[in-house]
Amino acid sequence: MKYSELHTPLRTIMTPGPVEVDPRVLRAMSTPILGQFDPAFTHIMNEVMEMLRQLFQTNNRWAFPVDGTSRSGNEAVLCSIIEPGDCVLVPIFGRFGHLFVEICERYGADVHTMECSWGEVFEPEEVIAEIKKVSPKIVALVHGETSTGCMQPLKEIGQACRELDVLLVVDAVASIGGTDIKVDEWCIDAIIGGTQKCLSVPSGMAPITYNDRIEKILSERKKVERGIATAEDLRQVRKGIPIKSNYFDLSMLQDYWGPRRLNHHTEATSMLYALREGLRLVLEEGLEERFERHVFHEAALVAGLEAMGLTLFGNRKHKLTCVTCIEIPSGIDGESVRSMLLNQFGIEIASSFGPLQGKIWRIGTMGYSCRKENVLFVLGALEAVLLRHGFEVKRGEALQAALDVYMAEVKEPVKEE
């Protein structure tokens, strides 16, 4: 046989995604396939919807995954609500704001942008002032910007959007499952999560949720495919322009995930099993506990990196807990460090994009990869590799600083007599 059995090297993945997948998720993926209308399968679909509502902290009726990588969720939401000429405001603070612009333009939106330097986020008032100036139909905003390791505060912007009758669409691909996101409380109209990051499920699905303000637009643009439409469906005249994409038409996806179970695509069975198990793991751990775990390991990682003599990149006040960006010291070849980490230690960390290409490294502490042994391993290995590259590391300090965090005694509250 020309091709050997599939054998991949074992890696410690400390990038901002894809990250290591929990073994329970991998096991769930080998569960036998069910037909997509088998009640045993539609029951699983309903369970996933229920668990997604808990993850997104919402009472929205609609919460389901779009089949495709995370950007498929961004595209499904935007193409389903943008009609040509609609004004969309996109505040950009990294690569994925640009992705929003790209998608909106392709669907004929009149896109307004505002940009701050990478490594910063917007003051909510700045965004609110811009909303008042351009009166958009939609604001599309990234929550956790993976390219810069920054997190945009959303609550005030959400409230302002609701008061001004503007729709708020949020990309929480990097942050969902790793940090607190209160969809209803923060007045987010539609939000997209990612599987391959803090949920620790493989890439290939984009969980989304949206409220009745979005659903109203969908119902005005609703279409049923001719080959499966009833006479009643064909008689319906809608006032909105039909959604340009068939695959990403949320009005059709809704009919598939809803009680009508109207066939759209063939559901990605094994991925749904994976997502179900990933969500079960999140809920078992508890949202608060999971967010605290991400903060705890971030603290150990940051302590170690700084003790080593490295400088973090970006505004610390708005740091994304699950992504830590580090300035590549001058004179050090960042790519050579990354490849030595991979080749000698089997550890993967990431570089960045655009203006930050070659300037920073990014270390992810996401989901199943966010563990003590991974943090200690990456710190030890990075120290060794930097020494080999001639960087003046403060020898031995990194692991001691991280261990200080890990071994700090939990102080018992002093009892009052």
Ligand X SMILES: Cc1ncc(COP(=O)(O)O)c(C=O)c1O
x/- mask, ligand X, residues 132-161, rule CB under 6 A, reads: ----------x-x-x---------------
CA–CA separation, 391 and 381 (whole Å): 14
Site membership for ligand X, residue 109 (CB under 6 A): no
**Closer of 96 and 122 to ligand X (Cβ):** 96
How far apart are CB 157 and ligand X at their closest, in Å?
17
How far apart are CB 116 and ligand X at their closest, in Å?
16
How far apart are CB 142 and ligand X at their closest, in Å?
5
Site membership for ligand X, residue 318 (CB under 6 A): no
User: Binding to ligand X (CB under 6 A): which residues in 55-94?
Assistant: 69-71
Site membership for ligand X, residue 324 (CB under 6 A): no
How far apart are CB 18 and ligand X at their closest, in Å?
8
Choose one: 85-93, 170-178, 244-252, 345-353; the region binding ligand X (CB under 6 A): 170-178
How far apart are CB 78 and ligand X at their closest, in Å?
12
Site membership for ligand X, residue 351 (CB under 6 A): no
Contact with ligand X (CB under 6 A) among 96, 107, 210, 361: 96
Site membership for ligand X, residue 173 (CB under 6 A): yes
**Which parts of this chain interact with ligand X (CB under 6 A)?**
17, 69-71, 96, 99, 142, 144, 146, 171, 173-174, 194, 203
